[in-house]
Amino acid sequence: MKKMMLATALLALTAGASLAQDVVRIGTEGAYEPYNYIDQATGELTGFEIELGNELCKRATLNCEFVQNAWDSIIPNLQSGNYDLIMAGMSITDEREEVIDFSQNYIPPASSDYLALTADVAIGEGAVIAAQTGTIQAGYVAESGATLLEFATPDETVAAVRNGEADAVFADKDYLAPIAADSNGELVLLAEEVQLGGGVGIGLRETDTELKDKLNAAIQTMKDDGSLNAMITKWFGPEAVTF
């Protein structure tokens, strides 16, 4: 049965070989509202990056398709060719530049902030700070002297603060702000904003230079005609940093 399925699959796949080149697969996490998340009503991927990705592909005349992948393995799966791009709120950092390439940024360097139960929580030495594994914020906490508590998903980092496991969570402010607004004062953003990284860009394999040029050009046209700023304001609110 399995062999038959595989054989038919291979056959069906080889038949459509000539179409293959044009499809660009984009990997995303699907758990980082409002960057990329699952639409509650339809169960489909949605968010700022989904809308932006589709617009960029339209401008670059590429045929794109989003696929979901866990954050932990999002870079290895790009390298082994399971998809061609990463659009997952990934900040451009030197460490990541060593293994993959980035397009120019499509979100300007934005603030990271702490979210805690009270506004007077200490966040320095001795504090326990939650952050998502492998993020720019986790690296920052590890170097700050506070105890880093890592979680696989962003949601778990916030839950850790709610149940007292961590003193505060450190993440992108755009992710934390709606959570704070929704919590009826239970959770508050601290006035400790930090600027990290070189903004959010599209991650690509280092050998895909042609694709990178196309996307850079498409991002530039969106920056120039103001449509990128409009999209940022639509998803992140009027206070969000724009270009």
In the complex, the residues that contact other proteins under the rule CB under 8 A are 1-2, 5-6, 9-10, 12-14, 16-17, 19-25, 31, 33-34, 37-44, 46-47, 63, 65, 67-70, 73, 76, 79-82, 84, 99, 153, 155-156, 158-159, 162, 178-179, 181-182, 205-207
Q: CA angle at residue 22 from 19 to 25, to 5 degrees?
A: 115
Nearest distance in Å: CB 60, other proteins? 16
Q: Which is nearer to other proteins, 42 or 191 (CB)?
A: 42
d(CA 240, CA 35): 13
Contact 85, 200 (CB under 8 A): no
Secondary structure element (H or E) that encloses residue 66, with its range: strand 63-68
Whether omega before 109 lies within 30 degrees of 0, making that bond cis, reads no
Sheet holding 203-204, edge to edge: 63-68, 23-28, 85-86, 203-204, 101-102
Contact 74, 27 (CB under 8 A): yes
Nearest distance in Å: CB 109, other proteins? 23
Structure tokens at 213: 């040029």
Nearest distance in Å: CB 152, other proteins? 9
Contact 38, 45 (CB under 8 A): yes
Q: Which is nearer to other proteins, 42 or 61 (CB)?
A: 42
Q: Which is nearer to other proteins, 75 or 146 (CB)?
A: 75
Nearest distance in Å: CB 215, other proteins? 16
Positive or negative: CA dihedral 124, 129, 133, 137: negative
d(CA 159, CA 154): 9
Q: What is the DSSP letter of 135?
A: S
Q: Which is nearer to other proteins, 14 or 143 (CB)?
A: 14
Q: Which is nearer to other proteins, 12 or 191 (CB)?
A: 12
Q: Which is nearer to other proteins, 89 or 146 (CB)?
A: 89
Nearest distance in Å: CB 147, other proteins? 23
Nearest distance in Å: CB 70, other proteins? 7
